[in-house]
Amino acid sequence: MTEDSRDTLLPLPEHVAIIMDGNGRWAKSQGLERVDGHRVGAGSVRAVLEESRRLGIRYVTLYAFSTENWKRPEEEVVALMSLFIKHLEQELPLFLENDIRLRAIGDLERLPSEVRISLQDKIERTKHCESLDLLLAVSYGSRNELTRAFRSLSKRIEQGKLSASELTEEMITDSLDTAGIPDPDLLIRTSSEFRISNFLLWQLAYSEIVVTDVHWPDFREEELNNCIDRYRRRKRRFGGLEEVEHV
Ligand code: IPE
Ligand code: IPE
Ligand code: MG
């Protein structure tokens, strides 16, 4: 990993994935409750979407709630679920004005039905939009996603529709919740932790990782642009010797 001064910069990332972390730490630093951090963090989602659209980023994936986050205290989980519903309703005009198509990835069956219904409704109402695809990772865990994909592929093998020796990487890619979406070029994690936390394990194979110490509620246009600038100074080789702009 090198972020050096160079004449040629990478093009803008086509797909940016973000682990939106640090809401609780931000709230603590302000003398507020954790849920206040989640509330202010929703404003960062709006800012990032508007800026991504302005820049011309084609895909944005936001990690909003992990399969492991279900083990948080019930009070916090309930507060997060009602925030999801509130903001899905509130941000529909933002999606439509910015030509943003919503898609959800994760173990959606586990979500309360009100969240599922609201998600489904916004997915339906934005399906004609085509400037930016927003993939919202809710109740998402990469191991869960891979397990579901392997189950569906095994079923096809059991039914004699596919033979094990014919299984390809592409078939696995196409069985994931992210089917049809190119892998993220850039993964941003806010709030300083250097870990993946069960996010897009398959899809991040060659993504550039940028960690910022800014907590998610403070992550607005300026910090998004800082992270993109850091990405653009990287060299991507994908295992080869030459620099490559995209796979
Ligand atoms: C990210 O912020 C939001 C979710 C995981 C839902 P956190 O709630 O993890 O905040 P910290 O990491 O405790 O500061
Ligand atoms: C990752 O953050 C999940 C989301 C941002 C939704 P966590 O706060 O849950 O991750 P850990 O526990 O620090 O690894
Ligand atoms: Mg966290």
User: What is the domain-level CATH number for residue 49?
Assistant: 3.40.1180.10
Q: Is residue 82 part of a domain?
A: yes
> Would the CA dihedral through 90, 64, 41, 216 be positive or negative?
negative
Indicate which residue of 4, 23, 69, 218 is catalytic.
69
Number of domains in the chain: 1
Which residue range forms the structural domain that includes residue 102? 15-232
Ligand 1, atom 1: nearest CA belongs to which residue? 21
The ligand 1 atom at the shortest distance from the C-alpha of residue 20 is 1
What global pTM score does this model have? 0.97
- Domain assignment present for 66: yes
Residue 168 in any domain: the answer is yes
Report if residue 2 sits inside a domain.
no
User: pLDDT tens, 1-34?
Assistant: 556 555 799 999 999 999 999 999 999 999 999 9
Q: Per the domain annotation, does 8 fall within a domain?
A: no
User: pLDDT for 71-108, tens place per residue?
Assistant: 999 999 999 999 999 999 999 999 999 999 999 999 99
> pLDDT value at position 74?
98
Q: Is residue 185 part of a domain?
A: yes
Helix axis angle for 74-90 and 34-55, nearest 10°, is 30
Mean pLDDT over residues 179-208, rounded? 98
